[in-house]
Amino acid sequence: MKYITSKSEFDSTIAETKTLIVVDFWALWCGPCRKVEAIFNELDEQYKDEVMFIKVNVDDGGDIAAAASVRSIPSFHYIKNGQTIDRIDGAVSKYTLEQKIDQHK
């Protein structure tokens, strides 16, 4: 899992990565974010060879969140070939996140 705080690092990671990327936009003060944190960590371990997982704290990477049109957190963005291809807003189950991963990888 990669923690990103700068827009330039985010942009270069997105541009250089050829596999599916799942980005978790979150914050320390967000209860639902903490609720799904363990799920996101499990998925990172489960798909570690196939998918890149990135966490962006919206308090540290507000410019990244603004550019991604994040309006509520948690917000999970699925990115492939430099483009956001899907997203899920809100705390959801592991199954829901897995379904999207399997659909897009």
Q: Is 30 a catalytic residue?
A: yes
Q: Is 29 helix (H, G, I), strand (E, B) or coil?
A: coil
Report how far residue 103's alpha carbon sits from residue 30's, in angstroms, rounded to the nearest whole number: 28
**Which among 30, 39, 54, 58 is annotated as catalytic?**
30
**Which among 33, 43, 52, 58 is annotated as catalytic?**
33
Report how far residue 77's alpha carbon sits from residue 68's, in angstroms, rounded to the nearest whole number: 9
Q: Is 6 a catalytic residue?
A: no
DSSP string, 33-88: HHHHHHHHHHHHHHTTTTEEEEEEETTT-HHHHHHTT--SSSEEEEEETTEEEEEE
Active site residues: 30, 33
